[in-house]
Amino acid sequence: MTIKIPHKQYTKGETKRRSVVKALTWRVIASLDTTIIAYFVTGGNLHKALAIGGFEIITKMVLYFFHERAWNGVKWGKRIEDLPGVKTADTKRRSILKATTWRILGTLDTFIISNIFTKSIKQASSIAIIEVFTKPILYFLHERFWNNVIWGKREFEQAKHEEKN
């Protein structure tokens, strides 16, 4: 069944609930990655690795939510032909730019947190630099996955509601 949705100008096409769920799923993936990296960089110190990964769960969930909401207000890179009946799908270029802006924020956060727990600029830098390579790939894959999930997209939710009535 294809839902017909009239063309609209988009500003905030996704719900806050969708942004929260995206933030949670991303945080699980990203914190596991940080914990594993920190474990190896600290020479197998599980306590420090868990402290770094655990603390960033809080800071990065907040940062990610606001990053996602800011990008939700940007119309550039959204296209109408990706998903039948849904007009808020992101182009790959948009996903790449979102990944880049997020990585800048995330790297700064990781460096600060790692430096607090390791008390070593060298180890904090190593953790942050390794993440520069692992996180954009993981984030891009996460964005592409969510691009195919129509739950929480306002136009889809509105059309679904109108179809019931």
How big is the CA angle at 124 (ends 123 and 126), to the nearest 5 degrees? 60
Please give the average per-residue pLDDT across 21-29, as a whole number: 89
Helical (H) or strand (E) element with 66: helix 46-72
Q: How does pLDDT run across 117-156, given as a tens digit for each residue? A: 999 999 999 999 999 999 889 988 998 999 888 888 876 5
Q: How does pLDDT run across 37-75, given as a tens digit for each residue? A: 999 999 999 999 999 999 999 998 889 889 988 988 888
The token duo for 84 is 């039948």
Distant-in-sequence, close-in-space partners of 7: CB < 8 Å, separation ≥ 6? 80, 87
The token duo for 100 is 């880049």
Classify residue 125 as exposed, middle or buried by CB count within 10 Å of its CB (0-12, 13-18, 19+).
middle
Kindly state the DSSP code that residue 78 receives in the 8-state scheme. Answer: E
Q: How does pLDDT run across 96-116, given as a tens digit for each residue? A: 898 889 889 989 999 999 999
The pLDDT value recorded for residue 156 is 55
Q: What ranges do the domains of the chain cover?
A: 16-164
pLDDT at 27 over 90: no
Task: Of 7, 12, 19, give the one whose Cα is nearest residue 80.
Answer: 7
- Cα separation, 37 vs 53, in Å, equals 9
The pLDDT value recorded for residue 65 is 87
- Cα separation, 47 vs 75, in Å, equals 43
